[in-house]
Each structure stands twice: as C-alpha cells, then as structure tokens.
Amino acid sequence: MNYFDAILLGFVQGLTEFLPISSSGHLILISNLLGINFKGVVFEIILHCGTLLSLMFFFNKKIYQLSLNIFIKKDIKYLTFLITGIIPVGIIGLIFKSDIEKIFDNPNLVGFFLMLTGLILLLSKWFKRKKTINLNYFTSIIIGFFQILALMPGVSRSGMTISSAIIFGIKPKEAANFSFLMSIPIILGSMLISMNDIQSLDLNYFEKIFLIISFISSFVFGLLSLKILYNLLNTKFFYYFGYYCILIGLISIIINNI
C-alpha cells in the first residue's frame, strides 16, 4: 500500500458508503483489481470510522434533538422505531458473523449481490406505493429485515433500507433519515466487536500514516456522498444507481471468470 492507495480507498469508501451502490462490494473489487492488501480487517474498520464521523456530523442536529427530547412522546416513538429496525440485523450479525466474513473472499458473489442491489433499487421505482405513509412498527421491522441482506458483500445497506421504505410508501428523504440514523449504532457495534483486531496488530510508522490518510479521505468523501444522495432522492436519477449496480456486478463476474 502507498499514499495513493490510502487516498483512493478512502475515496471509494466515502463515496459509496451512503450512495446505494455498496461500499463493501466496491472496496473488494478495487482492492482485488489493484492488488491492494492490508493487515486483517483494521483498514476496513478505520474507513468505517471516517464515514461514521461524517454521518454523525451530517446528522448532528437530529442526533442532538433526539438526545435532548428523549422524554418527549414523539421522539420516544421514533427511537423505538429505530431500535425495532436494528434488532433483526443485530441478532443475525452476531450469530453468523464468522460465516458471513467467509463470503467476502468470493468476487463472484460480490458481483451477484451488486446485481441484487440494483434490482431492489429498480423495484422501488416500479412498485412503490402511491399513497405515502408515516413510519410505524410494521415498516420498521420490514426495513430491519431488508437490512439483513446488507451483511452480504455487494449489497448496499442504504439501498436496501431506503428502497424497502419507499416501496411501502415512506417519503424518500424520511426513508433516508431513518436508514442512516439506524446505521449509527450498527456501525458502532460492529466496530466495537472488531476492536481486538486493531489492538492485536503491530503497525509500523508508514502503516499508521496510511490509516490516518484513509480516515480523513473517507470522512471528506462521506460528507460529499451524503450531500449528493439527498439532492438526488426526489429525482429519477436516484434509481439510475440500480442500472449502475447491475452493470458493475455483471462486469465483475465476467472479469473474474475470464
């Protein structure tokens, strides 16, 4: 790894983490294509730290509001919706963590799951409910189950959660707010579980510098991708990501089988 690789992977993580095109899938494909390697999962954890910080920075007012108004009925209900959506992926992630990690070594599966992400994005355009509704416990649990799919490499978490919410009649920006706020404790939890991997590593000076550069890069481009996404949510261009995922997934499968 060199300075360019560190900036590039931070760019890829930041730009694809919130756009509905799967950061894990793109990181695997780019790393395999360029032959970039790093010790264990520490690099992925640091990249997620950067995008998590950008997410918390972007939603700082909403997070502050929910923290301040924790005893207000409306905000309590919203928090319970968030918890309801988190429970399914939390349970499945803990039980099948080691089995899921093995799948990340298969580029063909990454391509397949990218195509699945694209299909779900297009379904949210073709089959979305015309009448809008508000979040409730039923939609929260359904969104939570769609989020389970995002444990697979190549499946976009934001793509799954936002698309499923739109299909059930939730407004796009409300769906995105719920999706990203729900992801904060999930990302934090997965990072805490993986902390032993960081502590067990013996990194040299240059490797530490690469981590810092990647962290900054993923933070900056994470903010950029959030702004891009929110500008596209109510336009037809949001659904074009579906065609992109299908195309990239198909290309990656072809390349890996030549």
Question: Which residue range forms the structural domain that includes residue 102?
Answer: 3-256
SS3 call for 29: helix
Q: Look at residues 21, 234, 182 and name the one whose alpha carbon lies nearest to residue 117.
A: 21
Place of tokens 């997620």: 48
Letter for the amino acid at 236? K
Q: How many domains would you assign to the chain?
A: 1
What is the average per-residue pLDDT within 192-207?
A: 67
Residue 197: per-residue pLDDT: 61
Reported as a pLDDT band with limits 50, 70 and 90, residue 28 is: confident
pTM for this model (two decimals): 0.88
Find the angle CA(188)-CA(190)-CA(193) to the nearest 5 degrees: 110
| Apex 82 CA angle, 79 and 85, nearest 5 | 150
List the structure tokens of 14: 């930041």
Helix, strand, coil % in the chain, rounded to nearest 5: 80, 0, 20
* pLDDT tens, position by position, 152-186: 888 999 999 999 999 999 999 999 999 999 999 88
Tell me if 246 sits within 8 A of 115, measured CB to CB: yes
Q: Pick the closest to residue 191 from 69, 42, 61, 72 (CA basis).
A: 42
Q: Collapsing DSSP states into helix, strand and coil, what is residue 131?
A: coil
- How does pLDDT run across 77-118, given as a tens digit for each residue? 899 999 999 998 888 887 877 777 677 667 788 889 999 999
- Sequence-distant (6+) residues with CB within 8 A of 154 are 22, 24, 25, 28, 109, 110, 111, 112, 113, 114, 116, 117, 249
Task: Give the range among 37-41, 50-54, 85-89, 149-153 with minimum mean pLDDT.
Answer: 37-41
